């Protein structure tokens, strides 16, 4: 399930946090639908809530939605596998045509059959500029989607797009329901109908979502009959409720999860991820818009210390948006903290230290505000460590917590402790983060980064099928980010989950930034089996 890319592990739409923190998922305390007693029900504490449950607006776009299926899905190793399609697509030699044949006998949860028309409707609606889907650019390669009878769909592309099949994990919606509504305001956004293993039975905004197993699911009726996602923004509150037995499982920061390591009734799951923590450096800000300031901050930050102390080793230093162990990562861009270099950069650029140690240039103090979402301890610790490192170079960073309602209108001018990262292909992770055409487009390119060399390389990487050409393009991007950093990348975090030890079949995937509802050990919830 998808929230906007910035929100990540420990953020939500900041919906009624006090209510979520105090109400037990089952309606009581330490029991109800949670309580840790029933093997066919599970209550999970998560930090964020989707804005919508409609794939037409971006929900579930990266797969693993419990309410919907895409043409394809990803297995535990992220390999693409058939879902609503019978098989992987037939791809034309020129890379411009992808043809899918639908699985027989699939029905939506209202009993209506899935047809190729539903697939066409889904993609055409997402691509319609009148639809408020901020991820539309991810499908930019599509020229046309056509149905051939009830069971065959053909995508024709504008240009060869090597990772296109990975985009067809997009969930499919029923035209007979969603087609009769405005995709931006219709009831389908909160009353979804899909083909997935679960159906939504209740949604108390800011508190919980409850899902029931779909007995007619084409993949077989799930053994876990009820899933409740309790929305608990505050990390400490989530850990407390897990310890009390009010929750069966929860997403936790590494330092809080460590307290459960020796708990015989619970298991801890560590998942590697592409999920980075970074500081956006808006170009519209008089201080962060100065390249010398950005370069100095990149040199001043101690990434190793953040990974060791804040993440307790459950993560790695980030030298760019791609993790160091990703096959597309550019070797040689790793860089340690270098305060002398940071000071030299600022000296050369005319930023001179004042009596209070803070530098200034032409009457402008080297000072700016760094926002982080309230209740997110990991981001708070990153922000404070970043400010401490910056101060050593003579840059004054004021750290401030706020709700997302407060942060969003300030993102243009103020720095934000942000998160992002996608699995599957470097295009997925980099294009929306860096391309200048998306500057200020919601949570895309929040820092309004504008680098012509990066734009050119992003377009080359997206449009070429030749791996050597693509690799050179992504190398260029990563090296340009060192020379002209629009963000200060800090760490790639592991996602840590603690769950009652009552089921078998739980596994983790290499995860994107988005997790909680879809990723996590419950990515394959429909395959869990109660322990005998």
Residue 22: pLDDT above 60?
A: no
Whether residue 451 sits in one domain with residue 307: yes
Reading across the β-sheet that carries 142-147, which strands appear in turn?
Answer: 90-91, 97-101, 152-157, 142-147
| Total domains in the fold of the chain | 3
pLDDT of residue 19: 28
Q: Which two tokens mark 356?
A: 């209070």
In a domain, 247, yes or no: yes
* Per-residue confidence (pLDDT) for residue 211, from 0 to 100: 97
Q: Looking at the domain assignment, is residue 54 inside a domain? A: no
CB atoms within 10 A of CB 18: 11
pLDDT value of residue 10: 32
Query: φ and ψ at 523, to 5 degrees?
Result: -60, -30
All residues at 6 or more sequence positions from 22 whose CB lies less than 8 Å from its CB, including other chains: none
Domain of 506, in residue numbers: 1-49+205-270+496-532
The span from the CA of 262 to the CA of 301, in Å, is: 34
Q: Are 137 and 234 found together in one domain?
A: no
Token match 């596994």: residue? 507
Does residue 466 share a domain with residue 385?
A: yes
User: Mean pLDDT lowest for which of 13-17, 209-213, 218-222, 307-311?
Assistant: 13-17
* Strand blocks (E) in 15-141: 41-46, 72-74, 80-82, 90-91, 97-101
The 10s digit of each residue's pLDDT in 375-400 is: 888 999 999 999 999 999 999 999 99
State mean pLDDT over 81-104: 97
Helix (H, G, I), strand (E, B) or coil at 142: strand
- Say if residue 4's pLDDT is above 60: no
pLDDT tens sequence across 119-132 = 999 999 999 999 99
pLDDT tens digits, residue range 257-266?
999 989 999 9
The pLDDT-based confidence of 512 (bands split at 50, 70, 90) is confident
Residues 334-362: pLDDT tens digits? 999 999 999 999 999 999 999 999 999 99
Q: Indicate left, alpha or beta for 409 from its phi (over 0: left) and psi (-120 to 50: alpha).
A: alpha
The predicted pLDDT at position 516 comes to 67
Residues 254 and 292 in one domain: no
Which CATH number covers residue 121? 3.90.76.10
Position 515 confidence tier, pLDDT thresholds 50, 70, 90: low
Q: Confidence class of residue 532 from pLDDT cuts 50, 70 and 90?
A: confident
Instruction: Note whether 33 and 210 are within 8 A (CB).
Output: yes
| φ, ψ of residue 400 in degrees (nearest 5) | -140, 130
512 and 484 in a common domain: no
* Residues 488 and 502 occupy one common structural domain: no
* 40, 225 Cβ separation under 8 angstroms: yes
Residue 151 burial class via C-beta count within 10 angstroms: exposed 0-12, middle 13-18, buried 19 and up: middle
pLDDT (0 to 100) of residue 259: 93
Mean pLDDT computed over 302-309 = 97
Domain boundary at 152, 171, 195, which?
A: 195
Mean pLDDT for the stretch of residues 478-485? 97
Please report whether residue 164 resides in a domain. Answer: yes
**What are the tens digits of pLDDT across the range 223-247?**
999 999 999 988 899 999 999 999 9
Q: How far is CA 436 from the centre of its chain?
A: 20
DSSP code at position 216: T
Residue pair 359/394 in contact by the 8 Å Cβ criterion = yes
Identify the bridge partners of residue 499 per DSSP, sorted by sequence position. 249, 267
Asked if 521 and 269 touch (Cβ cutoff 8 Å), the reply is yes
Mean pLDDT of the chain: 90
CATH number at residue 502: 3.40.190.10
Q: Which helix (H) or strand (E) holds 196?
A: none
344, part of any domain: yes
Query: In this structure, what DSSP letter does residue 517 have?
Result: S
β 396-402/367-373 pair status: parallel
**In this structure, what CATH number is given to the domain that contains residue 466?**
3.10.105.10
Residue 37 has a pLDDT of 54
Q: Checking DSSP bridges between strand 367-373 and strand 415-420, what pairing results, if any?
A: parallel
What pLDDT score does 371 carry? 98
Instruction: Report if residue 200 sits inside a domain.
Output: no
Of the two residues 104 and 31, the one the predictor is more confident about is 104
Q: Are 367 and 395 in contact (CB under 8 A)?
A: yes
What strands lie across the sheet with 495-500, from one edge to the other?
198-204, 208-213, 226-231, 41-46, 249-252, 495-500, 266-271
Average pLDDT over residues 17-45: 51
Q: Is the pLDDT of residue 299 over 50?
A: yes
| pLDDT tops 50 at residue 20 | no
Q: How far is Cα 158 from Cα 462, in angstroms, rounded to an integer?
A: 12
Domain match, 223 and 367 both: no
CB 245 within 8 A of CB 260: no
Q: Is residue 103 located within the same domain as residue 79?
A: yes
The pLDDT-based confidence of 442 (bands split at 50, 70, 90) is: confident
Global pTM value: 0.84
Does residue 370 contact residue 279 with C-beta atoms inside 8 Å?
yes
137 assigned to some structural domain:
yes
In a domain, 55, yes or no: no
The verdict on 235 and 250 lying in the same domain is yes
Domain termination site, one of 195, 230, 262: 195
- What pLDDT does 134 receive? 84
pLDDT at residue 429, rounded to an integer:
87
Same domain, 487 and 509: no
Q: Given 136, 160, 195, which residue is the final one in a domain?
A: 195
What's the token pair of residue 343? 């000071």
Cα-based distances in Å from 273 to 21, 74, 270, 322, 518: 27, 15, 10, 10, 14
> 437 and 459: one domain?
yes
Tell me whether residue 299 is in a domain.
yes
68-102 b/e with 16+ CB inside 10 Å = b?
A: bbbbbbbeeeeebebbbbeeebeeeeeebbbbbbb
Two tokens, residue 357: 């140690």
Shared domain for 70 and 137, answered yes or no, is yes
Q: What is the pLDDT of residue 67?
A: 96
């Amino acid at each position: 399930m998808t929230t906007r890319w910035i929100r990540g592990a420990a953020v939500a739409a900041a919906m009624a946090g006090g209510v979520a923190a105090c109400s037990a998922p089952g309606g009581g305390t330490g029991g109800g639908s949670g309580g840790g007693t029933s093997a066919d029900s599970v209550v999970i504490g998560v930090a964020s809530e989707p804005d919508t449950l409609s794939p037409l607006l971006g929900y579930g776009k990266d797969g693993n939605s419990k309410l919907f299926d895409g043409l394809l899905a990803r297995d535990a190793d992220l390999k693409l596998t058939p879902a609503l399609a019978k098989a992987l697509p037939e791809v034309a030699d020129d890379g411009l045509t992808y043809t899918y044949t639908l699985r027989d006998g699939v029905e939506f949860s209202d009993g209506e059959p899935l047809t190729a028309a539903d697939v066409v409707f889904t993609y055409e609606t997402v691509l319609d500029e009148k639809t408020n889907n901020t991820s539309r650019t991810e499908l930019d390669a599509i020229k046309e989607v056509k149905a051939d009878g009830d069971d065959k769909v053909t995508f024709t592309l504008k240009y060869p797009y090597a990772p296109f099949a990975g985009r067809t994990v997009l969930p499919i919606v029923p035209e007979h329901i969603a087609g009769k509504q405005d995709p931006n305001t219709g009831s389908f956004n909160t009353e979804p109908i899909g083909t997935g293993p679960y159906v939504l039975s209740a949604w108390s905004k800011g508190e919980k979502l409850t899902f029931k197993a779909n007995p007619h699911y084409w993949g077989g009726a799930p053994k876990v009959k009820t899933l409740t996602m309790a929305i608990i923004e505050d990390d400490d509150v989530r850990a407390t409720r897990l310890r009390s037995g009010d929750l069966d499982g929860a997403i936790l920061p590494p330092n809080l999860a460590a307290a459960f390591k020796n708990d015989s009734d619970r298991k801890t799951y560590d998942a590697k991820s592409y999920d980075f923590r970074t500081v956006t450096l808006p170009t519209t800000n008089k201080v962060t818009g100065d390249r010398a300031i950005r370069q100095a901050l990149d040199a001043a930050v101690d990434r190793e210390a953040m990974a060791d102390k804040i993440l307790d080793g459950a993560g790695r230093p980030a030298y760019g948006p791609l993790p160091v162990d990703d096959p597309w990562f550019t070797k040689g861009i790793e860089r340690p903290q270098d305060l002398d270099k940071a000071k030299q950069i600022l000296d050369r650029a005319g930023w001179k230290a004042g009596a209070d140690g803070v530098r200034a240039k032409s009457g402008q103090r080297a000072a700016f505000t760094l926002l982080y979402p309230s209740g997110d301890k990991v981001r708070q610790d990153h922000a404070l460590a970043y400010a401490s490192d910056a101060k050593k170079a003579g840059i004054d960073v004021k750290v401030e917590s706020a709700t997302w309602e407060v942060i969003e209108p300030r993102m243009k001018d103020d720095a934000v402790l942000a998160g992002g990262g996608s699995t599957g292909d470097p295009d997925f992770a980099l294009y929306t983060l860096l391309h200048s055409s998306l500057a200020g487009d919601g949570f895309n390119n929040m820092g309004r980064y504008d680098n012509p060399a990066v734009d050119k390389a992003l377009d080359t990487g997206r449009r070429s099928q030749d791996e050597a050409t693509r690799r050179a393009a992504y190398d260029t991007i990563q090296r340009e980010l060192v020379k002209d950093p629009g963000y200060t990348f800090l760490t790639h975090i592991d996602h840590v989950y603690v769950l009652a030890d009552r089921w078998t079949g739980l596994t983790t995937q290499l995860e994107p930034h988005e997790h909680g509802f879809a990723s996590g050990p419950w990515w394959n919830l429909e395959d869990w089996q109660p322990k005998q």
